């Protein structure tokens, strides 16, 4: 999958990344943050529309019982 390299991340991408606690990543790796955001949008688009808001496009994760 080819990913274009934007010259500068969109301000809303930076705001979302900062809201997620990724301040250092935005400062040190702005292009990587932009590329990751683009990949997330692409993955979400590939999932299509969900009939139910709570539905997941993949099986739920399960925790192994470790004794």
Segment 6-54, tens digit of pLDDT? 455 566 889 999 999 999 999 999 999 999 999 988 888 877 676 666 6
Per-residue pLDDT of 41-54, as tens digits, reads 888 887 767 666 66
Cα distance between residue 3 and residue 31, in whole Å:
12
Tally Cβ neighbours within 10 Å of residue 67. Answer: 3
Q: What pLDDT does 66 receive? A: 75
Q: What pLDDT does 65 receive? A: 79
* pTM confidence score: 0.57
């Amino acid at each position: 999958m080819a990913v274009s390299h934007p010259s500068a991340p969109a301000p809303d991408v930076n705001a979302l990344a900062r809201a997620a606690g990724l301040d250092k990543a935005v400062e040190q790796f702005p292009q990587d943050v932009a590329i990751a955001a683009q990949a997330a949008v692409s993955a979400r688009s590939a999932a299509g529309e969900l009939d139910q808001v709570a539905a997941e496009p993949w099986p739920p994760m399960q925790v192994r019982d470790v004794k």
